[in-house]
């Protein structure tokens, strides 16, 4: 049926009138945004703003103002300029898979959703880079590069959904970053819109760009220094051979000992991941990866490179695993089995609701030698707060992802979750660890920054941010704690957040 | 407003976002309001936080194709389809969605003679150019005549349904020929069980859907013969009767329902015995209907059955993303449905196939309207059996 007829028929046949949307706030701002980028690309209704008020984390401290879906760099720039004219902040947003509240707006800022800017702009095989728009989905990028025998190496567990823009903002990692390095090592240049709406390019395609490495400063700046509108990412050649192995252990500590022994043996696997018993059981129903449900922990190890070298490394890894108490060592026979093993690992965080309906996924880094000690503390802390802890993590680089699973509907739970979270962070810092491995600081770790950095450190970070965004317009209230933030975080929290009616 | 949704089902979404790339409307729009995660969050806002049912909330629910791609992708096993059907039932009961003209149209599906007569009139009007068929979202050439149904035995029922029987009876006849070639005696359900009620459940007309489920069950309850279905959408709905009605009788009935490919895949030897010397000289792309891939999860049987009868089968590289047909969706949401379809047609083009095999009448009509040569998989098998192999 033609749209016209359907619309007419819909009007005639309606039994009761649809409720009118609640009065749109920010009418003048919205009108200007619509005039600049097209009416259909600006949403000011409660439903759209409600959904743009959070990401995949448990943090939601403010509400989104008008929500824009720009499709060009010029439109992003126009949105930033109009927001500035109205004295409003801007928060960029990709797929909203972040776990630290980085895209969750504070106050009532203009939110820029970059999901429509998802083109692969060019592939430059001579320089080994591709220019992509920020809304390009990480896994989709690798799929699009496959015909060239290339891929994009950083592979966060959410890679099937998360976007390159968000990866740049948080300097994302992923299982394969153990050997290949994190996002920063794979982004050679960026086109960004600054807070004054100007468009600049940071970095270039040469090996040694002139001047300061502003690209390096920008990657991981969590939307506070500018908005990425295009990224030149490094192409990584697909390895000639890959071998993926799954090892089962009767206890977590022998698994962790294997991790240290593999690295000490001079082997740097492409990936080295660990899942504990509860995690195994949560993912197994979904992924049918064949993880042994009776194991206390499994290690997922991948080695890649030239065929001969891979075979030798794999044998050596298996030998080390057995010497360190592995109960079984399984080598994926084909690509299909390999894909299933990875599906298990990469769906771990999403599978938590098979146990309990809510989760808080942590992200801390500890020295590899202290892994076991901290893991034991995590279980102990969770027990003490009557929470369920699951552990799935990048064992190779000591990047822990303890998951606290809970049911937020039970009164008093959130208090226990936050208290336990605080203790887990303290425990990681106490052994010389870091606040975040790859998820970013966002809202989640903001108030812990003073535990890790000195006054002078934080002042410098604040100044760097001010150099990019002197008027505190971009993603205010994130990363830097109150005393060092350009924004009045208390006031942002108190901003009018009325959404419905 | 309470949507009548189960609290545990509603809270089983952890909002991780892994469903997003598997949702056809999110992929097209990039908007959270048109994503599974967003839709669930809005259901929660309405049911738990007292959010009003605004026009945008309704649009969010109405734009869902109900393809269930998100269910397959969800590591936490959120029963999205059940939540969406519940939400639509609550919204339809209040008159928020599914206006009267749609309800009237859907009720017509139960009245077989009226439906067949109406379809013939429509076909006639189309031939005489009295109606702009394409602009109305109808197939360009509806059949003026249909072959006659006849029972060839009583091993199995072949469910023939409503619109499919009016518009694509040739498919049923081809399916029956294939079953007979495998030595199976077939009784077409024809007038006995007029409509499975799938479209009614999708539209939120839960009482109608339940009434039609009971009618189908009553008509086919005299024996325990398998009920074979050659429409993925109808098959999914009928396998779902157990949950829809919640009775032991309905669960037993659902256990008798099989997608025809699923059933044949287990009896392939009998069919292969009558295989012609040469397969059809065709390169065929298999399109997985969502109600086969995500709802019934039995799509892998199609290439098993079809493979031996054509020269080459190719898999599409779009990760099984929906084609946008969605039962009546392509008529109700033409813009989105067309945008979603363009991704599918691009995938078909990349595959190099000349023919698309689709095991669902809705997908088949929707894709054919984009100019693709679409056949039911068993029509191709029947053609191979009939022709002895010349494409």
Q: Decide: A144 and A102 in contact? Cβ < 8 Å.
A: no
As given in the structure block, the two tokens for residue B2 are 């309470």
Pairing of strands B227-229, B257-259: parallel
Which residues of chain A lie closer than 8 angstroms to B101, CB-CB?
A: 9, 12-13
Q: Decide: B156 and B186 in contact? Cβ < 8 Å.
A: yes
Nearest to B32 among A51, A135, A354 (CB): A51
In sequence order, the 6+-apart residues with CB closer than 8 A to the CB of B116 are B146, B165, B166
Which residues of chain A lie closer than 8 angstroms to B320, CB-CB?
A: none
**Whole-angstrom Cα distance, residue A44 to residue A53?**
12
The CA distances from residue B346 to A110, B278, B329, B341, in Å, are 35, 30, 20, 9
Query: Chain B residue closest to A139 (CA)?
Result: B21
Q: Decide: B17 and B47 in contact? Cβ < 8 Å.
A: no
Pick from A139, A89, A86: nearest CA to A112: A89
Place of tokens 């007419």: A8
**A365 burial level (CB within 10 Å; 0-12, 13-18, 19+):** buried
First to last CA, chain B: 57
First to last CA, chain A: 34
Nearest to A1 among B21, B38, B331 (CB): B331
* Chain B contact probe: residue of A350, A407, A408 with most B CBs at under 10 A: A350
Question: Cβ separation of B17 and A162 shorter than 8 Å?
Answer: yes
**Whole-angstrom Cα distance, residue B312 to residue B329?**
32
Pairing of strands A297-305, A241-249: antiparallel
Question: Cβ separation of B21 and A161 shorter than 8 Å?
Answer: yes
Give the pLDDT of residue A348: 87
Which residues of chain A lie closer than 8 angstroms to B51, CB-CB?
A: 46-47, 50, 499-500
Nearest to B77 among A43, A115, A286 (CB): A286
The CA distances from residue A191 to A204, A234, B29, B225, B312, in Å, are 10, 15, 24, 65, 45
Place of tokens 């649009």: B59
Nearest to B101 among A9, A139, A162 (CB): A9
**Whole-angstrom Cα distance, residue A450 to residue A461?**
12
Query: Chain B residue closest to A407 (CA)?
Result: B11
Give the pLDDT of residue B391: 43
Which residues of chain B lie closer than 8 angstroms to A20, CB-CB?
A: 54-55
The ipTM is 0.92
Nearest to B38 among A51, A116, A287 (CB): A51
Which residues of chain B lie closer than 8 angstroms to A283, CB-CB?
A: 75
Q: Decide: A49 and A499 in contact? Cβ < 8 Å.
A: yes
Measured in residues, chain B has a length of 391
* Per-residue model confidence as pLDDT tens digits over B243-269: 999 999 999 999 999 999 999 999 999
Structural domains in chain A plus CATH codes:
120-237 (3.30.465.10), 241-349 (3.30.70.2190), 356-430 (3.30.70.2740)
A470 min Cα distance to partner chain B (Å) = 31
Residue A262 has pLDDT above 60, yes or no: yes
Question: Cβ separation of A139 and B76 shorter than 8 Å?
Answer: no
As given in the structure block, the two tokens for residue A70 are 């720009």
Question: Cβ separation of B32 and A1 shorter than 8 Å?
Answer: no
* Per-residue model confidence as pLDDT tens digits over B315-349: 999 999 999 999 899 999 999 999 999 999 999 99
Residue A350: which pLDDT band, with cuts at 50, 70 and 90? Answer: confident
Question: Cβ separation of A97 and B94 shorter than 8 Å?
Answer: no
pLDDT in tens, chain B (391 residues): 999 999 999 999 999 999 999 999 999 999 999 999 999 999 999 999 999 999 999 999 999 999 999 999 999 999 999 999 999 999 999 999 999 999 999 999 999 999 999 999 999 998 998 888 877 778 888 999 999 999 999 999 999 999 999 999 999 999 999 999 999 999 999 989 999 999 999 999 999 999 999 999 999 998 999 999 999 999 999 999 999 999 999 999 999 999 999 999 999 999 998 877 789 999 999 999 999 999 999 999 999 999 999 999 999 999 999 999 998 999 999 999 999 999 999 999 999 999 999 999 999 999 999 999 999 999 999 999 988 644 4
DSSP state of B293: I
Give the pLDDT of residue A13: 42
Pairing of strands A187-193, A199-202: antiparallel
Q: What values do phi and psi take at A121, rounded to 5?
A: -80, -45
Give the pLDDT of residue A494: 82
* Chain B contact probe: residue of A104, A286, A353 with most B CBs at under 10 A: A353
Mean model confidence pLDDT for chain A: 91
* Per-residue model confidence as pLDDT tens digits over A417-471: 999 999 999 999 999 999 998 899 999 999 999 999 999 999 999 999 999 999 9
Query: Chain B residue closest to A98 (CA)?
Result: B16
> Which of 434-473 (A) contact B at CB < 8 A?
none
Query: Chain A residue closest to B15 (CA)?
Result: A56
The CA distances from residue A306 to A303, A420, B248, in Å, are 10, 45, 59
Q: What is the largest CA-CA distance in chain B?
A: 66
In sequence order, the 6+-apart residues with CB closer than 8 A to the CB of B287 are B316, B323, B344, B348, B356, B357, B358, B363, B367, B374
Element (H, E) at A111: strand A110-113
**Whole-angstrom Cα distance, residue A478 to residue A227?**
15
Which residues of chain B lie closer than 8 angstroms to A403, CB-CB?
A: none
Give the pLDDT of residue A15: 40
Residue A161: which pLDDT band, with cuts at 50, 70 and 90? Answer: very high
Pick from A406, A410, A411, A409: nearest CA to A421: A406
Nearest to B11 among A5, A45, A409 (CB): A409
Question: Cβ separation of A6 and B331 shorter than 8 Å?
Answer: yes
Query: Chain A residue closest to B334 (CA)?
Result: A3
> Which of 393-432 (A) contact B at CB < 8 A?
407, 409
DSSP state of A159: T
Give the pLDDT of residue B388: 63
**Whole-angstrom Cα distance, residue B266 to residue B340?**
34
Q: How much is the average pLDDT of A24-40?
A: 93
**B252 burial level (CB within 10 Å; 0-12, 13-18, 19+):** middle
* Interface check A23 vs B, CB under 8 A: no
Give the pLDDT of residue A153: 97
A100 min Cα distance to partner chain B (Å) = 12
Q: How many CB pairs under 8 A join A and B?
A: 165
* Chain B contact probe: residue of A11, A92, A161 with most B CBs at under 10 A: A161
Complete DSSP assignment for A289-309: ----TT-SEEEEEEEEESHHH
Pick from A213, A146, A154: nearest CA to A180: A154
User: Which stretches within A69-202 are classed as H helix?
Assistant: 73-85, 138-145, 164-170, 177-180
Question: Cβ separation of A48 and B31 shorter than 8 Å?
Answer: yes
Which residues of chain A lie closer than 8 angstroms to B95, CB-CB?
A: 14-16
As given in the structure block, the two tokens for residue A382 are 């969770």
Residue A24: which pLDDT band, with cuts at 50, 70 and 90? Answer: low
Which residues of chain A lie closer than 8 angstroms to B56, CB-CB?
A: 21, 45-48
In sequence order, the 6+-apart residues with CB closer than 8 A to the CB of A282 are A348, A351, A352, A354, A355, A390
* Chain A contact probe: residue of B8, B11, B34, B75 with most A CBs at under 10 A: B75
**Helices A307-323 and A252-264: crossing angle, nearest 10°?**
140
Which residues of chain A lie closer than 8 angstroms to B55, CB-CB?
A: 18-21, 45
Query: Chain A residue closest to B49 (CA)?
Result: A500
Q: What values do phi and psi take at A210, rounded to 5?
A: -75, 155
As given in the structure block, the two tokens for residue A224 are 């506070």
Which residues of chain A lie closer than 8 angstroms to B78, CB-CB?
A: 353
Q: Decide: B65 and B329 in contact? Cβ < 8 Å.
A: yes
**Whole-angstrom Cα distance, residue A54 to residue A48?**
11
């Amino acid at each position: 049926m033609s749209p016209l007829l359907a619309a007419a028929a819909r009007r005639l046949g309606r039994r009761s009138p649809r409720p009118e949307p609640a009065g749109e706030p920010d009418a003048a701002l919205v009108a200007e945004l619509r005039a600049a980028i097209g009416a259909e690309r600006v949403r000011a209704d409660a439903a759209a703003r409600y959904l743009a008020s959070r990401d995949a984390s448990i943090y939601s401290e403010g509400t989104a103002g008008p929500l824009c879906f720009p499709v060009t760099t010029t439109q992003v720039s126009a949105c930033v300029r109009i927001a500035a004219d109205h004295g409003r902040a801007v928060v960029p947003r990709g797929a909203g898979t972040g776990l630290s509240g980085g895209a969750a707006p504070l106050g009532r800022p203009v939110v820029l959703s970059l999901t429509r800017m998802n083109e692969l702009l060019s592939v430059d095989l001579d320089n080994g880079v591709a220019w992509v728009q920020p809304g390009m989905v990480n896994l989709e990028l690798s799929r699009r590069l496959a015909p060239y025998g290339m891929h994009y190496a950083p592979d966060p567990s959410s890679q099937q959904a998360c976007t390159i823009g968000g990866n740049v903002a948080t300097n994302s990692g992923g299982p394969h970053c153990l050997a290949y390095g994190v996002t920063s090592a794979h982004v050679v240049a960026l086109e960004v819109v600054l807070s004054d709406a100007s468009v600049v390019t940071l970095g270039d395609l040469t090996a040694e760009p002139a001047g300061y490495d502003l690209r390096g400063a920008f990657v991981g700046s969590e939307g506070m220094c500018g908005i990425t509108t295009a990224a030149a990412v490094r192409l990584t050649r697909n390895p000639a051979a890959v071998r993926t192995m799954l090892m089962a252990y009767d206890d977590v500590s022998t698994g962790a000992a294997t991790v240290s022994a593999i690295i000490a043996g001079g082997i740097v696997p492409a990936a080295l991941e660990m899942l504990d018993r509860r995690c195994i059981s949560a993912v197994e129903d979904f992924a049918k990866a064949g993880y042994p449900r009776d194991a206390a922990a499994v290690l997922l190890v991948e080695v890649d490179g030239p065929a001969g070298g891979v075979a030798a490394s794999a044998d050596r890894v298996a030998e080390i695993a057995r010497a360190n108490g592995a109960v079984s060592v399984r080598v994926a026979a084909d690509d299909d089995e390999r894909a299933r093993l990875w599906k298990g690992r990469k769906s771990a965080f999403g599978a938590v609701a098979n146990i309990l309906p809510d989760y808080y996924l942590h992200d801390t880094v500890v020295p590899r030698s202290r892994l076991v000690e901290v893991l034991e503390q995590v279980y102990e802390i969770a027990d003490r707060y009557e929470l369920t802890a699951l552990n799935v993590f990048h064992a190779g680089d000591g990047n822990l992802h303890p998951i606290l699973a809970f049911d937020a509907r039970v009164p008093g739970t959130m208090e226990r979750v936050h208290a336990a979270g605080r203790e887990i962070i303290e425990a990681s810092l106490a052994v010389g660890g870091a606040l975040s491995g790859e998820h970013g600081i966002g809202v989640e770790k903001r108030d812990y920054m003073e535990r890790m950095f000195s006054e002078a450190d934080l002042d410098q970070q604040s100044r760097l941010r001010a150099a990019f965004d002197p008027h505190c317009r971009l993603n205010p209230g994130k990363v830097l704690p109150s005393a060092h933030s350009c924004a009045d975080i208390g006031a942002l929290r108190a901003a009018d957040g009325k959404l419905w009616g | 407003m309470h949507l009548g949704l189960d609290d545990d089902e509603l809270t089983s979404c952890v909002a991780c976002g892994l469903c997003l790339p598997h949702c056809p409307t999110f992929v097209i729009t990039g908007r959270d309001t048109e994503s599974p995660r967003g839709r669930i969050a809005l259901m929660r806002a309405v049911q738990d936080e007292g959010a009003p049912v605004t026009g945008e909330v309704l649009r969010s629910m109405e734009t869902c194709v109900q393809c269930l791609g998100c269910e397959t992708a969800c590591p936490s096993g959120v029963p999205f389809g059940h939540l969406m059907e519940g939400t639509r039932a609550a919204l339809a009961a209040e008159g928020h969605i599914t206006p009267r003209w749609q309800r009237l149209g859907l009720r017509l599906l139960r009245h077989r003679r009226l439906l067949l007569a109406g379809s013939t009139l429509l076909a006639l009007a189309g031939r005489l150019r009295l109606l702009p068929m394409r602009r109305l979202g109808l197939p360009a050439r509806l059949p003026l005549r249909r072959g006659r149904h006849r029972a060839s035995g009583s091993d199995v029922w072949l469910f023939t349904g409503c619109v499919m029987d009016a518009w694509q009876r040739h498919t049923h006849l081809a399916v029956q020929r294939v079953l007979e070639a495998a030595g199976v005696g077939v009784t077409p359900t024809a007038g006995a069980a007029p409509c499975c009620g799938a479209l009614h459940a999708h539209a939120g007309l839960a009482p109608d859907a339940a009434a039609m489920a009971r009618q189908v069950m009553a008509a086919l309850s005299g024996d325990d013969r398998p009920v074979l279905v050659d429409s993925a959408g109808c098959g999914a709905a009928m396998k779902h009767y157990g949950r829809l009605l919640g009775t032991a009788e309905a669960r037993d009935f659902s256990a008798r329902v099989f997608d025809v490919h699923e059933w044949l895949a287990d009896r392939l030897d009998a069919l292969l015995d009558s295989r012609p010397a040469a397969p059809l000289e065709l390169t065929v792309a298999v399109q997985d209907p969502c109600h086969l891939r995500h709802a019934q999860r039995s799509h892998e049987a199609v290439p098993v059955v079809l493979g031996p009868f054509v020269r080459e089968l190719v898999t599409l590289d779009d990760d099984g993303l929906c084609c946008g047909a969605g039962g009546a969706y392509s008529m109700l949401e033409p813009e989105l449905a067309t945008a979603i379809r363009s991704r599918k047609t691009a995938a078909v083009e990349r595959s190099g196939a000349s023919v698309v095999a689709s095991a669902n009448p809705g997908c088949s009509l929707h894709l054919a309207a984009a100019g693709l040569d679409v056949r039911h998989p068993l029509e191709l098998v029947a053609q191979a059996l009939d022709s002895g192999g010349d494409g």
